[in-house]
Amino acid sequence: MACGVPPAARAPAPDAQPAAKAPGEGQLSATAWLTRASLDLRGVRPSAAELAAVAADPDAAEALILGFVDDARFADRAAWSWNDRLHTALNFKSTTLRGYQELSDAQKEAAGFAPLAMVAWIVAEDQPVTALVTNTTLPLNDDLAAAFGLTAPGRGAEWVMSAHQDARPPAGLLASTSLWLVVDGDATNHNRRRANAVSTMFLCDDFLSREAAFDFDLSVEELAAMEEAVRTQPACLTCHAGLDPLAALFGGFAERSDQAELSRLTVYSPWRAEWAMGWRAPAYFGRPVGNLSELGATLAADPRFGRCAARTLAEGLIGEPLDDDELSPYHDALLNGGMSLRAVARAVVTSERYRRDDERALPIDALSSSLAQALGLSAEGETFLSLIWSLEHRRLGGGGDDHTAPDDVDEPGVGHALRDAWIARSVAELALTQDADRAPEERILWIAGAPYPTEEVAARQVLVRWRQRLLSEQLSQSDPGVDQLWALWSAAGGAADPEAAWTTCLEALLRHPMGRLY
């Protein structure tokens, strides 16, 4: 596959240079870098042993971080990162169309996550990212099958790559029912919305962000005249000459409906697809294409596709938009790495740009999984699922709903504090009692000896452990941060009511702002 040649002589942007072993000015320490990379790539904080190893030898950080890229958990993290581009995950819970009311929560979540499961599969199997638009199978699980009336693979919630069960052309996500339910169309706009979604999602080029874009809130009369204008007026042609021939490829997917049952919206109609191609000769920016499969192959060959894929992952890891120069080394890594997203991840997390000492808000899926791991609770438990899939909890934390307000707001605010208070109240007591019930050698929060210790030395040992597990700190027992918690422990009941005292301490740590920044 010809996907563009990286310019050999192009100098990488200064920040994209590999990070120096020792932190420079404005760079994270080796342990903070390790923590950031662990949360980004694995969704959990580094272990005590990993932190200790890097504290003892900062040069050990890079090898550990590169190993995180090959961790199985990176697949899910990359998938959630892609939701900032696709905005499908929460959509089925956010919209109120009649057809969606028939679905259970699990089915809505499966429908929303299905396109992201494709990303997860690509990362897990280290497939070329072009599979996003060329693969002949799509992820399916039993919940999604039940939602869309398909034959279930019979493996519960596990995603299985499955062939299409109707006549749609295989084309990776371009053939995804979920995607084209989220980005719906109607005959009035001739699927232009879907065409723009292709450009936005896979080329990082939103037609509506172009300077020539204008308000589409038009009267009926203006709308009637518009169809003529988009074919003839130069101001319109700048976008529509590319958009409309692309739109002609998506007629096989159902139109938007406030009335129809879901079963009528999930079917693909080859005839309608063909009929829509009669509206405009389908083409991809001047290259005729005959169906979705050809579109996928052409899209994958477009240099803009690889650049967009690299941008999506790199910006997801770095947490900020990148200009073209900043992106180039990560794009080069993709091209030189056989279109592997893992190659991009390696280039990003070892760059100076990534190691810049700026505070980032922890994405909600990483917050959920890291807390679950730190506390020894199941990430699939009700509390943490609420964090990921509950619109209310997401909104409290500034999260988008993938519908009316798709984008996350990363700036910490009052909502974050409320959400964190809810987390602390919900899980502190539960985590402590569950851990106390474990065999001593299996305990996570309590160290050897009886749970809920009241003797100061043992208590301080516990507090040191908690700060490590929840904040990735390595403190001595006499550190002021431990002193503060010890004072809180005493004030909250102390030896007279150790259960209340320890629960209060854990709640306080769970509400610590530094637990949300990394």
Partner 1 sequence: MRQILPLLLGLGCGRDDVAPPKDDVRDDSAPAEDCDGLTWSNDGLPEMLTWCASCHSSLIQPEDRAGAPIGVDLESVAGVRAHLDRVILRIEAGDMPPAGGVPEAKRARLLQWLNCGAPGDELVWPTTTPAEAPEESWDQEEAVVAGDEPDQVVIEAARLGWTDGLAFTEVWTVTPAEASLVSREVWDASGVWVSRISFEPPLTLWRADQTEWSIVVERLTEDVTGLTGAEEEWTVSLGPAVDVDPRSLEANPEAIIALSSAGELLELHLGGQGQLIRRVYSGPFAVEGEELDMTHLGNTELFTSAPFQLPVDLKWRAKVMVR
> Is residue 150 a contact residue for partner 1 (CB under 8 A)?
no
Closest-CA residue to 54 (of 98, 23, 93, 83): 23
Half-sphere exposure of 292 (CA within 13 A, CB side): 29
> Is residue 392 a contact residue for partner 1 (CB under 8 A)?
no
> Is residue 258 a contact residue for partner 1 (CB under 8 A)?
yes
- In the complex with partner 1, the residue whose CB is nearer, 153 or 270, is 270
Cα gap 109→147, rounded to integer Å: 10
Sign of CA dihedral 370, 374, 378, 384: negative
Q: What is the CA radius of gyration of the chain?
A: 25
- In the complex with partner 1, the residue whose CB is nearer, 304 or 443, is 304
CA 181-186-192 angle, 5° bins: 85
Smallest distance from the beta carbon of 314 to partner 1, in angstroms?
Answer: 16
SS3 of 87-146: the string is: CCCCHHHHCCCHHHHHCCHHHHHHHHHHHHHHHHHHHHCCCECCHHHHCCEEEECHHHHH
CB 464 within 8 A of CB 478: no
Cα gap 481→473, rounded to integer Å: 10
Of the residues 324, 392, 407, 455, which one makes contact with partner 1 according to CB under 8 A = 324
Of the residues 281, 418, 450, 487, which one makes contact with partner 1 according to CB under 8 A = 281
> Is residue 410 a contact residue for partner 1 (CB under 8 A)?
no
Smallest distance from the beta carbon of 187 to partner 1, in angstroms?
Answer: 6
Interaction mask 359-378, partner 1, x per CB under 8 A: --------------------
Cα gap 422→161, rounded to integer Å: 37
> Is residue 442 a contact residue for partner 1 (CB under 8 A)?
no
> Is residue 235 a contact residue for partner 1 (CB under 8 A)?
yes
Positions 3 through 32 that interact with partner 1 (CB under 8 A):
3-10
Provide the token pair at 234: 């130069």
- In the complex with partner 1, the residue whose CB is nearer, 29 or 189, is 189
Cα gap 160→181, rounded to integer Å: 21
Of the residues 32, 66, 106, 241, which one makes contact with partner 1 according to CB under 8 A = 241
- In the complex with partner 1, the residue whose CB is nearer, 286 or 480, is 286
Smallest distance from the beta carbon of 413 to partner 1, in angstroms?
Answer: 32
> Is residue 285 a contact residue for partner 1 (CB under 8 A)?
yes
Helices (H), 204-291: 220-232, 234-247, 262-265, 270-277
Smallest distance from the beta carbon of 3 to partner 1, in angstroms?
Answer: 8
- Separation in Å, CA 353 to CA 39, 63, 318: 17, 18, 8
- In the complex with partner 1, the residue whose CB is nearer, 116 or 283, is 283
Smallest distance from the beta carbon of 13 to partner 1, in angstroms?
Answer: 14
Provide the token pair at 503: 């629960």
Give the DSSP per-residue string, 194-210: HHHHHHHHHHS--GGGS
> Is residue 438 a contact residue for partner 1 (CB under 8 A)?
no
> Is residue 287 a contact residue for partner 1 (CB under 8 A)?
yes
Of the residues 151, 259, 404, 476, which one makes contact with partner 1 according to CB under 8 A = 259
Closest-CA residue to 81 (of 109, 45, 39): 39
- In the complex with partner 1, the residue whose CB is nearer, 55 or 97, is 97
- In the complex with partner 1, the residue whose CB is nearer, 4 or 412, is 4
Contact segment (CB under 8 A) with partner 1 among 85-93, 111-119, 270-278, 484-492 equals: 270-278
- Separation in Å, CA 255 to CA 87, 182, 190, 192: 19, 11, 10, 12
The size of the chain, in residues, is 518
Positions 289 through 318 that interact with partner 1 (CB under 8 A):
289-291, 294, 297-298, 300-304, 307
| Cβ-proximal residues to 149 (8 Å cutoff; 6+ apart), any chain | 263, 266
User: Under DSSP, is residue 71 helix (H, G, I), strand (E, B) or coil?
Assistant: coil
Smallest distance from the beta carbon of 126 to partner 1, in angstroms?
Answer: 23
Smallest distance from the beta carbon of 249 to partner 1, in angstroms?
Answer: 8
> Is residue 2 a contact residue for partner 1 (CB under 8 A)?
yes
Of the residues 237, 421, 488, 492, which one makes contact with partner 1 according to CB under 8 A = 237
> Is residue 486 a contact residue for partner 1 (CB under 8 A)?
no
Positions 166 through 225 that interact with partner 1 (CB under 8 A):
186-188, 205, 210-212, 220, 223-225
Binding-site size, partner 1 (CB under 8 A): 73
Smallest distance from the beta carbon of 289 to partner 1, in angstroms?
Answer: 5
Query: First-to-last CA distance in the chain?
Result: 38
